Amino acid sequence: MTADAAALYQQRILDHGRRPRNRRALAGASEARRDNPLCGDRLTVYARLDGDVIVEAAFEGDGCAIAIASASMMTALVAGRTREDVGRLDAAFERLVTVGVPAAELGELEAFAGIRAFPVRRKCATLAWEALRAALG
Ligand code: ZN
């Protein structure tokens, strides 16, 4: 990754961290909360399902810019996707943050590729996905 690309990715994470999308409760939706005691991140993720499709996703909680930005980007990405799609995206994100395998289907979430160099922050990035997985049961 070039220094310019790294700076751009950093900027996207900070932008979503400061002005997160989909930060609200969804009444009547499936929900699950996950905490990351190492950093103090606490996220509740909501998913409204219509059959097998996640028609809307949102989150509430507090945390570092990485945790909030990941939840913000993830809730935008998974809206309109099937459970199967989300399982694939979840696995792709895991590969991105652990070994740095890029995946265009992750969209803005590719900004987290640099996290693999900071193993203690990985949990911040994956917390929203863990909560979503739990919410989808
Ligand atoms: Zn964190």
Tokens of 22: 């989909």
Question: If pLDDT is split at 50, 70 and 90, which confidence band does 136 have?
Answer: very high
Alpha carbon of 102 to ligand 1 centroid (Å): 22
Alpha carbon of 126 to ligand 1 centroid (Å): 10
pLDDT tens digit string along 111-123? Answer: 999 898 888 899 9
pLDDT tens digit string along 60-80? Answer: 999 999 999 999 999 999 999
pLDDT tens digit string along 81-125? Answer: 999 999 999 999 999 999 989 899 999 999 999 898 888 899 999
Alpha carbon of 36 to ligand 1 centroid (Å): 7
Instruction: Tell me the residue type at 102.
Output: P
Tokens of 15: 């932008």
Alpha carbon of 124 to ligand 1 centroid (Å): 4
Alpha carbon of 88 to ligand 1 centroid (Å): 24
Question: If pLDDT is split at 50, 70 and 90, which confidence band does 43 have?
Answer: very high
Alpha carbon of 16 to ligand 1 centroid (Å): 14
- Which DSSP symbol is given to 80? T
- Which DSSP symbol is given to 39? T
CB atoms within 10 A of CB 71: 32
Q: How far is CA 116 from CA 70, 86, 98, 123, in A?
A: 14, 21, 5, 11
Q: Are 39 and 64 in contact (CB under 8 A)?
A: yes
Question: What percent of the chain is modeled with pLDDT above 90?
Answer: 85
Return all residues near 124 (Cβ < 8 A) that are at least 6 apart: 36, 39, 41, 63, 64, 66, 67, 70
Which among 76, 77, 68, 57 has a CA at the least distance from the CA of 124?
68
The pTM assigned to this predicted structure is 0.94
Pick the residue with more confidence: 69 or 6?
A: 69
Alpha carbon of 51 to ligand 1 centroid (Å): 33
